[in-house]
């Protein structure tokens, strides 16, 4: 009956075919991001930390490996997720050209090749003077395919022409997109500089610090704030965010980035604390929900982990300020970055991802809410152990802290494995409507037999 209706309605059939094509595209981006998360991201990070803990000296380890790990986490994992979700979300929100799917696949191919070549150049140092700039320009090209598509986005027309200002969450996502572009331009400039003048595929410390600041706080934090403003009132039952408060947080964060890029680390860190606090207040994270959270097919701990992520954001900002004042061997700086990337960003992705990605990738139902809970719990335990031990290990050379650090890494690796396995098992399932139809058929057969 359904197929007959679709055949009789070519427009509906074309719309259904485009939806399936978009679902395949976003699934490819998410699966690729999971591969980068597992292998060059988390596994390489665990290997780095175990080696550093064994030698008890961070400076004795390859900086290129550490930077390759960070690149795979920031761009290979979350960056890939953002581009894939962006292609899918824009297609649902407005009018896009018919070639959006083919352009999405071109973006995926260029972006994936760029991330993989950067990891190859950084870890194996094979032909790195050629591969490092090539990888940077491939990543930039892949992003520009996405960026040009974003610029062609047009909102759906209302029957009554009304000029409506952009919602605050859209402004935040737009600002994060421009920050993403700035990160990739800075990365390309650094790759060309290192390839022409460097002795190894390692960015200079000052450039690497600025790239991390812009990537983590300018691109990723703004992206999370934007999607949180859009989704948390629905998913977690929170009050609608304060637009004035989010505008203030955005202005303060931009000022912090400008000061930080200019070299004012103490002032930058102080502004980051204020921006984090204002955004948390504006999103009503720690206020009582005004309506029940929508937790169908996910674990009921979802709202608690969302709030835990913002605790990590505030801790990351406070530690960044402490690092600007007291850091000597990288322990406080590392703890701050870990609180931000793992505590805030990864916790948010693990929680929100289990809520939205099954729907984006074919209207699936999450394979296991329990695996979602176990992954989030292990991730936060590992992050806590890492931050508590990294400062005394790096700064004070405490033996017990060095011994616990590998445990934190293994806990986080287990969390990542559970998260990836849960999503991959979800993608392998039939769409929700087919599962429901199958249950109805089995029930009908059972009643007939009775």
Give the rounded percent of residues in the chain with a pLDDT score beyond 70: 84
Of 378, 175, 351, which is closest to residue 279 (Cα–Cα)?
175
Residue 134, domain member (yes or no): yes
Task: Give the range among 29-38, 66-75, 104-113, 264-273 with minimum mean pLDDT.
Answer: 66-75
> CA–CA separation, 136 vs 146, rounded Å?
16
Residue 269, domain member (yes or no): no
433 has pLDDT over 50: yes
pTM: predicted TM-score of the whole model, two decimal places: 0.89
> In b/e form, how buried is each residue of 267-293, taking b as 16+ CB within 10 angstroms?
bbbbbbbbbbbbbbbbbbbeeeeeeeb
Residue 159, domain member (yes or no): no
Name which residue leads in pLDDT, 314 or 44.
314
54 has pLDDT over 80: no
pLDDT given at position 449: 43
Tokens of 94: 């407005």
Residue 136, domain member (yes or no): yes
Residue 370, domain member (yes or no): no
47: enclosing H helix or E strand: helix 44-55
DSSP bridge partners of 154: 95
- Tell me the residue range of the domain where 37 lies: 17-153
356-395 pLDDT, tens digit per residue, is 999 888 889 999 999 999 999 999 999 999 999 999 998 9
224 has pLDDT over 90: yes
Number of domains in the chain: 1
Name the CA dihedral angle for 390, 391, 393, 399, rounded to a multiple of 10 degrees: -100
Of 383, 369, 393, 368, which is closest to residue 414 (Cα–Cα)?
383
> CA–CA separation, 323 vs 270, rounded Å?
11
- The 10 Å Cβ neighbour count of residue 216 is 22
* Mean pLDDT computed over every residue of the chain: 86
154 has pLDDT over 80: no
14-24 pLDDT, tens digit per residue, is 667 778 888 89
Tokens 């960070």 belong to residue? 70
> CA–CA separation, 295 vs 216, rounded Å?
29
Give the rounded percent of residues in the chain with a pLDDT score beyond 90: 63
Residue 317, domain member (yes or no): no
Tokens of 46: 């665990």
CB distance 208 to 187 below 8 Å: no
51 has pLDDT over 80: no
Q: Can you give the C-alpha Rg of the chain in angstroms? A: 23
Residue 112, domain member (yes or no): yes
CB distance 94 to 157 below 8 Å: no
> CA–CA separation, 308 vs 300, rounded Å?
14
Residue 365, domain member (yes or no): no
CB distance 328 to 395 below 8 Å: yes
> CA–CA separation, 372 vs 234, rounded Å?
20
Mean pLDDT confidence for 409-431: 92
């Amino acid at each position: 009956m359904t197929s007959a209706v679709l055949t009789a309605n070519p427009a509906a059939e074309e719309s259904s075919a485009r939806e399936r094509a978009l679902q395949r595209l976003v699934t490819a981006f998410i699966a690729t991001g999971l591969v980068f998360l597992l292998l060059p991201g988390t596994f390489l990070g665990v290997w780095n930390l175990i080696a550093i803990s064994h030698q008890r000296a961070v400076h004795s380890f390859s900086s290129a490996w550490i930077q390759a790990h960070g690149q795979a986490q920031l761009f290979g994992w979350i960056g890939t997720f953002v581009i894939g979700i962006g292609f899918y979300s824009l297609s649902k929100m407005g009018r896009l050209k018919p070639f959006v799917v083919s352009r999405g696949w071109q973006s995926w191919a260029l972006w994936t090749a760029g991330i993989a070549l950067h990891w190859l150049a950084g870890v194996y140092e094979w032909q790195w003077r050629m591969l490092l700039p090539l990888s940077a320009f491939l990543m930039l090209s892949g992003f520009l395919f996405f960026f040009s598509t974003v610029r062609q986005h047009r909102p759906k027309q209302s029957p009554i022409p009304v000029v409506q200002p952009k919602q605050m969450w859209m402004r935040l996502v737009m600002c994060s997109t421009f920050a993403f572009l700035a990160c990739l331009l800075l990365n390309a400039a650094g790759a060309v500089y290192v390839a022409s003048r460097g002795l190894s595929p390692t960015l200079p410390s000052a450039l690497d610090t600025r790239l991390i600041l812009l990537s983590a706080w300018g691109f990723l934090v703004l992206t999370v704030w934007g999607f949180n403003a859009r989704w948390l009132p629905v998913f977690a039952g929170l009050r609608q965010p304060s637009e004035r408060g989010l505008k203030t947080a955005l202005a303060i964060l931009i000022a912090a980035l400008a000061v930080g890029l200019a070299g004012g680390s103490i002032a930058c860190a102080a502004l980051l604390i204020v921006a984090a606090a204002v955004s948390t207040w504006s999103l009503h994270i720690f206020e009582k929900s005004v309506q029940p959270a929508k937790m169908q097919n996910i674990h009921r701990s979802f709202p608690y982990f969302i709030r835990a992520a913002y605790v990590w954001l505030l801790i990351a900002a406070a530690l960044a300020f402490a690092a600007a004042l007291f850091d000597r061997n990288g322990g406080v700086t590392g703890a701050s970055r870990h609180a931000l990337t793992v505590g805030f960003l990864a916790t948010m992705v693990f929680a929100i991802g289990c809520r939205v990605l099954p729907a984006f990738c074919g209207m699936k139902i999450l394979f296991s809410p329990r695996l979602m809970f176990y992954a989030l719990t292990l991730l936060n335990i590992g992050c806590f152990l890492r931050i508590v031990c990294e400062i005394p290990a790096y700064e004070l050379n405490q033996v017990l802290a060095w011994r616990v650090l590998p445990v934190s890494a293994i806990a986080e690796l287990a969390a990542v494995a559970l998260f990836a396995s849960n999503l991959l098992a979800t993608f392998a399932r039939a769409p929700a409507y087919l599962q429901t139809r199958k249950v109805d058929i089995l029930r009908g057969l059972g009643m007939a037999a009775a």
